[in-house]
Every structure is written in C-alpha cells, then in structure tokens.
A and B are shown apart, each in its own frame.
Chain A
Amino acid sequence: MSDTRQPLLSVRDLKVTFGKGHHAVSAVAGVSFDIFPGETLGLVGESGCGKSTTGKALMRIIEPSSGSIELEGSSLIGQRGRALRNLRTHMQMIFQDPISSLNPRRRVKDIVAEPLDCWKTVSGSERDVLVSDLLSKVGIDPKVYGNRYARQFSGGQCQRISIARSLAMRPKLLICDEMVSALDVSVQAQILNLLEDLKDEYGLTLLFIAHDLAVVKNVSDRVAVMYLGKICEIGPSDALYDAPAHPYTKFLLGAALDADPDSPLHNEVLEGEPPSPLNPPSGCRFRTRCPNATDKCANEEPQPQEIAPGHQVSCHFPLSVQRK
C-alpha cells in the first residue's frame, strides 16, 4: 500500500490452523492487512470463511499458528502474561450475541466498571462518575437503569451496555464481530448510528466483521472480502462495491438484496457451496466455482496485485475496473 501513515494494526500472513495431520483445518490461511488510525475496516464473507477466527486471533483469544500482528509497532505474538494483558487493554471486542455476552446476574454499572476494577485505574467517586458517563454516552440512563440486572434488558440495550463496557479502558481498536446481526432493523440502525458517533468522539479505529454487505458498506472506509480463509479483495468501500474486481466479490454483491422492488433480479447466482476447508482447492481457492477459471488458476496461487490506489485483488484475471 502506498499509504505513508503508520498503521495502528498491522497483520502479516496470519494463519490459524485447528487440529493436526489429516484433520488439520486451516481456518485462516495467510491473511495480511493494515488498519490505519481512525478508520473502519470492514471484513465480510460467508459463514466458515474465517472472518470471526481472524478477529479472535487478533485478540489472541484463539492462538494464531503463524504470522505477525503488530499494534502500533509492538508485536502481539510471543507476548505473555502481564505484557500481553497490557497490550490487550488497547483492543476490545464486541460479540454477536449481546445477551449471552453479559452476566445476567450482575448489575449494569458493575458490568461496565469491571475493566476499571481489574486494572484499578480509577477508584471511588471517580469510578462512579466515569461509569455513569459511559452509560449516558450509549443512551442508557445511569440513574434509572444503572442498578438493574443485565437480564432485565432487551438485545439492543444489552449491545449498548457491551459497547459501554468495551469503551471503559479507552481502547484504540474495537473489534466488532457481527455486533448487529441479532438485532431488528430499527434497533440495528440505532446501534450503527451510535457506533459512528462514538467513533468520532473517542477517536476509535474499528475492525467491523459482518456477513451483511449493506451494513458493512454503511460503516466502513475500506472493506476486505474473505473466501475460505483468504482475503480475495480489499479496497475503499465505494470503489469496491461499485466496481468489484474479484469474481467472488461480484457474485456476493449480486446476491445482496436491496429493499427496492425495481432492483434487478438475481440472474447470475453463484452455484454450489464453498468447498471444505479440510481439503481446499489447489491454486486459487475460488476456482472451483469461478466461471472464468483456467488451468493457471488451478496451478498457481494468485498473489495480491494493486489495481488502483489501495485496491488490491488476488485474482489472475481481475474483472475490468470499468465494468460495473
């Protein structure tokens, strides 16, 4: 990438393999990307493509098999104990199911204060002020709801509480894993708008993992598309959505449904289903379903090539940029 800015998070050739020998599944098979300060990188793909595993490997919730992860120049790989815990305070994660990610038997203000209590950064009245402030920021009145239990809240409110908790340590990077997919559209819109506001206010950098293409486009500055453990295309959101260069991106966008009766029907639908990651195809991983595949695709793995500034595609025969 020709960007001169220092990336906040830099990931190179990240691999995650589950199991050993014949049963080894490479869930993430060599993923590289940068996230720059203040931007939102969207990570889309279908189930099983490794997007959530990538997110968890960045936090080292799942141990990566190889590759490097650097947060502001300090490597997360090889860190242990206190050093790793210190680095992790700069990164926080928000999960898909808001209800199961909160302890139903704890009070809301204690849930939000938990990171502060662990690190003992603030105490006493200062702590209470900070917790009240965080709760008001996410739209939950601390005076009315602060003493209620997590089980008394709806999914949307629980997601607000999760956001407040994740902001308590003033993280630099927020990893959002399918954070709105369990919510109704009207609530989803509230949470997405809230996230944009907080991003500006707290100067956050976001990795936004989701399967919903419309949601990802709405929040992201750049988007990476994953297929079977690899990134097949990464680029600025508007450019990538207007002129996808990888055939898989084009099919994925073609299958997305816009709520408009005049939008074209899906005449070109991707046939079949992704192959098993136990036994991925040789060469390009998409070649078994790609209409343009040739012998070259089977023999040679395509390397990322830059087709426009910041827009990279891993394909031997990228679709022309002019064609929509």
Chain B
Amino acid sequence: MSSESHELLVVKNLSTTFTTMGGPLPAVADVSFTLARNETIGIVGESGSGKTVLSRTIMGLQPRTNVSVTGSVLLNGNEMVGASEAAKRALWGTEVAMVFQDPMTSLNPVMRVGKQIDESLRVRLGMSKNDAKARAIELLELVGIPSPAQRYMAYPGQLSGGMRQRVVIAIALAGSPNLLMADEPTTGLDVTIQAQILNLLDDLKDRMKMSVVLVTHDLGVVATRTSRIVVMYAGRIVETGSTRDVFHRHRMPYTRALLESSPKVSNASHTRLVTIPGRPPNLLKLTDGCSFAPRCSFATDKCHTQRPELEAAGEPGHAFACWNPLPTTTEP
C-alpha cells in the first residue's frame, strides 16, 4: 500500500450498527478499503448488503440516534467518524458530495432547479447572487443540459428523469468536491439514458480530478467504469480487488454466483442461469460463521461456526473471505 497522502479516502474497520426492537443490527461490519485520487471504485451487492449504509456512513449521514459507528473514515486527512455536525458541514460539498438514486425525491419539487444549485454555491462558497447564477448556468452546461439559461428557471417536474439526475450531479459538483459518492446513480433510468449519465460521470471525473465511489447492484455498471471493486454481502466485504481480478479470478463463491446469475446480452437465448438457493440472511440473526454459508454449495462445518477473515490472493490488492475458495483460474 502506498503512502497515506496518496490516498484520498481511507476506511478502516468501519462498523455501523443500528439499535432496533429486535436487537442490534450490524448493517456494516468491519469494512476497510482505500481510494486513491482520481480513481473510481465500485461497491457491489444485493439489497440489504449494506452498500448504501456504508456510503452514508462515509459521508457522515447516519441518523443521530439508535446507531453506533466505530472505526475510522479518513477523508483527505479529516476524520469523519465522531466529527461534529459543524465539522462535517464544512466538508460536505467541498470535500465530498453525494448523488442519490432517485432524482425526483432528492430535488425540491417547488423550487426552481437553478435556485437549488445556487443554494450550495452561496452557502458553501459565499458567492454573490449574480456570480452564483452565472456559475449555476455553467454547471448546467457542464452536465450536458441543453439551453441551460432556460432550464435554470425550470421546476424539477418539468424535466425528465435523466435531466433531473444531471441537475443532481450539477448540485453535487457545485463545490468542486474531491470525492463524489454516487449511490445507484442510474437505477431507474432507461439504458440509453444510463449510458449517457455513466459517460458523463466518467468525463467529469477526469475534468474535475475527482475520485468516485460508485455504489450499485448492477455488475454491468461497474464492469467497465471502475478500476477496483468491493463485493459486499450481509454487511461485510467478501471479496475485493482490481475489476479484472474480481471478474476473472474471483475466489469467493458468492462473487461467482453474483456474476453468473445475471443474464448477459452476449449469451444465446434460453441459456440456463446459475442460481443460488435461498436469499440474503436476516442481519438480526447472523451466526458466528460465514454469512453466505447457508446458501453456499461448498460450505463445511467450519464455515458455519467460524467467520473467515479477508486474506490476500495472489494478485496485488486482491483479497477474499472464504475457507473453501474457488481454485485459481487463468484468464479466459
């Protein structure tokens, strides 16, 4: 691992546990990873795997009560865990910004979109009203919205889903953040619009020298857009490595199941899909063993009683958590 200053984001032993009526719910458990400057990392998992809670914890957006966060999130040298609201507010927008999944609910429906971009420029950067308006129109142009000066006056309801997501991205970029967290940024958008938004994020990453955390359930989204991938299951990282290693040299049976169960355009029709029985575990009733063991065809007694830790695979940066890993394969 390279020196600390090279890394923009260092997450160490991060755990987020919610207190619920049914007992403590470990939504994120012992997660560690780093992100270099100008790098894109993908966080992949099914619903309930903890990927959204993880991204919100990194942002410091967890609720104030009934939650305990332990571990450390160093963002450009600033500790986010345990930081005061004021300290976090100083970092939001300028250090880290977030693009949420649903562009309809993350915008105020009764406020012109231009004003919503202005808001962060004036509050975070202390710009004057006129400067903020000029910059907001520039930002709308930057995210590829046609006739930005007119769109500045539009309400969110007058824009399509794809356009709204571009506005949300413009708001996130207003403070020129070093880190952009994108939580399912294209889920719910049509494929052609999804391709436009992913290309836009890629392009902006290079132009604004940002790092991006791309959180998604869709392996297709991360396959060509990220340099590294983190695979999560039941709140824990089960495999991580370079995108190529995770796709072609995965060792954890869950990673393989996830890859093989998604239908592919390049397969012939009526290709039988590989399935994993059952469904993700109830986080309130986790055992001491591997959380994937009940669904795993390779599981032994050890898997049910002892939790495997992440261990390094042959390739640099590639690690997996499994007692009975798949054999190493050569590249296809």
Contact = CB atoms under 8 A, between A and B. Distances in A.
Interface of A: 46-47, 154, 156, 184-190, 192-193, 196, 211-215, 217-221, 237-238, 241, 251-261, 263, 265-266, 269-271, 273
B199 A266 contact: yes
Interface in B242-279: 243-244, 247-248, 257-259, 261-277, 279
Contacts of A254: 195
B281 to A, nearest CB: 12
Interface centre among B160, B221, B266, B280 (most CB of A within 10 A): B266
B102 to A, nearest CB: 14
B192 A218 contact: no
Given A258-B264, A265-B224, 13 more contacts: A47-B161, A186-B275, A189-B263, A193-B273, A217-B269, A218-B263, A219-B270, A237-B269, A238-B269, A251-B192, A258-B220, A260-B247, A261-B224
Nearest to B266: A258
B265 A193 contact: no
Contact of B273 (A192, A221, A238, A273): A192
B267 to A, nearest CB: 7
A256 B279 contact: no
B193 interface: yes
B194 A220 contact: no
Interface string B168-202: 00000000000000000000001111111011000
Given A193-B275, A219-B269, A259-B223, A214 B264 contact: yes
Contact of A186 (B46, B221, B224, B266): B46
A219 B190 CA distance: 20
B223 A260 contact: yes
Given A214-B263, A217-B267, A156 B279 contact: yes
Contacts, number: 136
B47 interface: yes
A185 B217 contact: yes
A186 B273 CA distance: 10
B218 interface: yes
B297 to A, nearest CB: 13
Interface residues of B, number: 48
Shortest Cβ-Cβ A-B pairs, 3 listed:
A257-B220, A259-B219, A189-B261
Given A218-B267, A269-B199, A257 B224 contact: yes
Contacts of B275: 186, 189-190, 193
A261 B268 CA distance: 20
17 contacts: A46-B193, A184-B46, A185-B258, A193-B272, A193-B275, A196-B272, A213-B265, A218-B270, A251-B192, A257-B194, A257-B221, A258-B265, A259-B220, A261-B223, A261-B243, A261-B244, A266-B198
B162 interface: yes
Given A217-B269, A259-B219, A211 B262 contact: no
B46 A46 contact: no
A211 to B, nearest CB: 7
A259 B244 CA distance: 11
Contacts of B161: 47
Nearest to B254: A186
Contact of B261 (A186, A212, A258): A186
Contacts of A263: 223-224, 266
Interface in B2-54: 46-47
Contact of A185 (B46, B191, B192, B194): B46
B199 to A, nearest CB: 6
Contact of B195 (A187, A190, A211, A255): A255
Interface of B: 46-47, 160-163, 190-196, 198-199, 217-221, 223-224, 243-244, 247-248, 257-259, 261-277, 279-280
A238 B258 CA distance: 24
B156 to A, nearest CB: 15
B296 to A, nearest CB: 12
B191 A186 contact: no
Contacts of B274: 189
B261 A252 contact: no
A243 to B, nearest CB: 14
Contacts of A217: 263, 265, 267, 269
A256 B261 contact: no
A270 B196 CA distance: 8
A215 B264 CA distance: 7
Nearest to A214: B263
A212 B224 CA distance: 18
Contacts of A214: 262-265, 267
Contacts of A251: 192
Contact of A269 (B47, B192, B269, B279): B192
Contacts of B262: 185, 188-189, 214, 259
A255 B191 contact: yes
A154 B279 CA distance: 9
B196 A269 contact: yes
A219 B271 CA distance: 8
B265 A188 contact: no
A254 B194 CA distance: 11
Given A260-B247, A273-B160, A211 B190 contact: yes
Nearest to A272: B146
A263 B279 CA distance: 29
A271 B196 CA distance: 8
A196 B263 CA distance: 14
Nearest to A236: B269
A218 B194 contact: no
A259 B247 contact: yes
Nearest to B268: A238
A185 B261 contact: yes
